[in-house]
Chain A
Amino acid sequence: MNKNPYSSHTDADRAAMLERVGIKSVDDLLTAIPKDALRPKLGLPVGMSELEVQAHLESLAAKNRNAGAGPFFLGGPVQRRYIPAAVPVLALRGEFLTAYTPYQPEVSQGTLQSIFEYQSLISELLAMDVANSSMYEGGSSVAEAAFMAVRTTGRKKVVIASEVYFEFRRTVRTYARGPDLEIVEVPTRDLASAAEGAACLIVQHPDAFGGLVDVKAIADAAHAAGALCIQVTEPHANALLEPPGALGVDIAVGEGQPLGIPMSFGGPYLGILACRTALVRQMPGRVVGETHDARGMRGYVNTLQTREQHIRREKATSNICTNEAIAAITAAVYLALMGPEGLSAAARLGVAKAHALAHRLGALPGCSVSTDGDFFDRFALRVPTLAPGREGSGYALRNALLVDNVLVEATAAHYGDRDDLIIQCTEMTTDAEMDALVAAIESVAAGVRETVTAR
């Protein structure tokens, strides 16, 4: 019996194949391998049946607390959003899922047209000229956008707002070690005045605390100093907010996971990268273009490939090869199903719930909404003094709420001196979840009050 359950060979097949090759065993083909290194014992577990492996994975999954299993307010770049039933049914069809990069366009039109439609939908949503076919995920897309700006301007200073997600900022710092870029972090309000000598200003809108930012002023300051403006954006926000293309932004980047892609504990996700036409030859990654076949029929191909590693090698705009095509196709299916009204409704619901919740939480003793100015579908909440320890009160409250099975994020030490909670709402947030959060914070705050009074 086969040890590999996915093998189609019988022992007779193998014998016939060995005979055709003219050898007795596969080892006869391995003479180039040093003898002492050949066929080592690995110490890996023995194989399982499908039933056994299903049960084993279920037992691992049972040790997790799913997002939907209780009140849930985590978010940021990755958001718990409603995924229409038809999205995975279509996007995960075997003809899409088990195809490779469309190197042979005649038999890959399904992939190519779907990605062309993704590029079109994203360009429309962001009001940008061109979107590429996908990057790995949000953080590395921001880094690649910064690299684009460095190549375009010939400058090595990258200025990034400290209200950009900290995971994105850290990813940019790692990437910057490659070409030895100078990274400067300043608060969003000081971004415009830091443009001198910069390759780019990187602003996030809505920012990590949901704050709405005057991106146009930052883009103008960037351009006046000969720098590019890069906006970190979120897909749903663009249904309601003025999109990057209307704000003077040169490169728009972001995490595309909210477009119908499961949260899956960190990936796979979808890096969105869109830019102005003038920058297209500096764009990293693959891009699909329309053309025609030898008989004049419309068709699609990977194009502008002279930017890419398989042609240009060390002179390529990026090393990216495998990307996140199936996630781009998923996003295209999601946007097609939701349409302009569905996408707007999902965005509106997050905004409405966040504002309702902020109103209630801000009224609790010791609590106040601490996002600067107006906010979108998440907000920062300053909380009563609980623990002046290493991670602060926000972190202590986050842990206290965890006991009640309520999940929220604390700023911890990731955003300067800020010691807040960050609370994200989406269309999935229920009244019961909001009631639970208010009650839990109220009871912790009351406990603090009692403790203080007792002293």
Chain B
Amino acid sequence: MTIRTQVIPESGVKTAVPALEPLLIEIHEEGRAGRHVRGGEEAEAQIPARFRRRAPLGLPELSEPQVVRHFTHLAQLNYAVDTGMYPLGSCTMKYNPKINDRVASLFADLHPKQPQSTVQGALTLLAELEGMLAKLTGMDAVTLQPAAGAQAEFTAILMFKAYHQKRGEGAKRHRVIVPDTAHGTNPASAAMCGFQVTTVKSDAHGNIDLASLKAALGDDVVGLMLTNPNTLGLFEERLREVCDAVHAVGGLVYGDGANMNALLGVARPGDLGFDCIHINVHKTFSTPHGAGGPGAGPLCVKEPLRAFLPKPWIVRDEQGRYHLDTARDDQPPAGLGDSIGRVRTFLGNFGVLVRAYTYMRTLGEEGLAEASNDAILAANYLLAQLRDSYDVAFDRPCMHEFVLSASRQKKQGASALDVAKALIDEGFHPPTVYFPLVVPEALMIEPTETEPRETLDAFAAAMVRIAERAKTDPAAVKAAPKNAPLARLDEVNAARNPKLKWQRPT
């Protein structure tokens, strides 16, 4: 790794950090090039002049050795699960097994438009994955199309809309209820479906407030979007009453499965009153987050919603062959019926789904159950070590994550953001901060099941040290990070003077 020496202005201490990297455009020289592909000059004459590109294609010209060093250096500026503990609440940054990446490459050279007879292995895998997810969640049918949790939410709310329309209640139902602890994607997804959002507050125990919910319910309600365990890391204590109340007014209950890592083999959403639930396989099923994506958001539904699932559906014939029902090669294709149609071009983020399938087959039922058990234990173990140093938002046993408040530290002069940045200097990725919105100075911590106990202890010790420092020297906490490639970035400037691409050096 290229190292640069950085002097900490406050103390004059020199520290070694990875060197920053120039932009590709700054190492460009005309005439530099690799030779990955060449030829085809005759094509120039085959494109009529009026269609041809006039301005030169101003991509940087670089040699392969330069490109390799550039992106290797950039990679070294990143913190990742492969480099350390990443306790980002609600994101389930567990270890990403390498076998999953390798087997995904076995399916890399398959085109999504290939005839179904040539992709039986891929279709078998998808069908088996659908079946496993249905069993795991206690649901009846599954679509693997959604690319991420948010797209699964959108898919489900479109299905809710179609469901109510089919029952002749489409015109009167226009409100979706979300708790104040919900992820921002929930209200955004409801709004994309043309619905109004009604926010319901939480009670003193960190549950959705049942009285407020009941007051908000009526026959104009499409449904409720509920994360369970919720974003406070707490299992809803009156979950069945909540679901029953929504069903009583003809509404549906959407399960946001972002926190499914607490429930593997512990409880099935289908047994708890949910009509559907999505799964973030990039959280619960160990597929790498890819610096922001891709994910995959399979949506699992109860029987009454099956007809509305996106098509095509994968169906199995009597000979055990798999087909896409709306594009069958062996018999007339099925129509769309009540389906909302496709939410993306092809079947799903297959490369991600292969990894999830591989993870489930590797762990098996017993391994999945152990994973959730260990995740819950790890979170409670950390909570026990941090309870005295930070305020606990709702002090009852948590599931796989918990939310602390840095309110005490804030009064001492160091905010949740400062605590987060100080953790960087301690060698850890910070937790999620300022979410959920209902907790002031929130620090949302999710250790996952794959961190060794020594690492959990080291993280707790770092958090305690920072809390001590906030008491005695809050300015030092505010000055963090000092040992990162960069000090704190000016986000206000970035938004006020947006510079969203490079300028060619002149």
Contact = CB atoms under 8 A, between A and B. Distances in A.
B345 A138 contact: yes
**Which residue, A18, A36, A66, A72, has most C-beta atoms of chain B within 10 A?**
A66
A223 B276 CA distance: 43
Interface string A117-147: 1011101110100110110111110000001
A268 interface: yes
A37 to B, nearest CB: 4
A125 B104 contact: no
B413 interface: no
B355 to A, nearest CB: 10
Given A45-B364, A170-B342, A179-B194, A340 B24 contact: no
B218 interface: no
Nearest to B280: A322
Interface in B104-158: 104-115, 117-122, 124-125, 132, 135-136, 138, 147-151, 153-154, 157-158
A322 B62 CA distance: 31
Contacts of A290: 494, 499-500
B295 A322 contact: yes
A282 interface: no
A168 B108 CA distance: 22
B452 A140 contact: no
B494 A140 contact: no
8 contacts: A36-B271, A110-B291, A175-B343, A267-B349, A303-B491, A319-B151, A322-B280, A352-B40
B78 A167 contact: no
A67 interface: yes
Interface residues of A, number: 206
A94 to B, nearest CB: 3
A34 B350 contact: no
Interface string B168-212: 000000000000000111011111111001000000000000000
Contact of B194 (A46, A58, A114, A180): A180
Contacts of A329: 71, 291
Given A44-B132, A167-B346, A178 B154 contact: yes
Interface string A170-211: 110111011110000000000000000000000000000000
Closest 9 CB pairs of A and B: A47-B364, A348-B40, A326-B290, A325-B292, A266-B346, A94-B82, A63-B121, A268-B294, A110-B78
Given A46-B366, A117-B24, A324-B290, A310 B500 contact: no
A263 B112 contact: yes
A104 interface: yes
A272 to B, nearest CB: 13
A110 B187 contact: no
Interface string A345-373: 11111111001000000000000000000
Nearest to B381: A17
Given A177-B161, A329-B291, A241 B104 contact: no
Contact of A293 (B46, B75, B489): B489
Contacts of A29: 376, 380, 397-399
Interface residues of B, number: 206
Interface stretch (A76-84, A432-440, A443-451): A76-84
Given A100-B91, A335-B59, A4 B370 contact: yes
Given A21-B381, A53-B358, A321-B185, 18 more contacts: A4-B363, A6-B371, A13-B453, A30-B266, A30-B397, A42-B365, A54-B103, A58-B103, A76-B113, A98-B96, A107-B485, A174-B158, A243-B55, A262-B105, A265-B114, A326-B293, A343-B59, A345-B39
A188 B385 CA distance: 65
A61 B80 CA distance: 30
Contacts of B367: 2-5, 47
B345 A137 contact: yes
A266 B487 contact: no
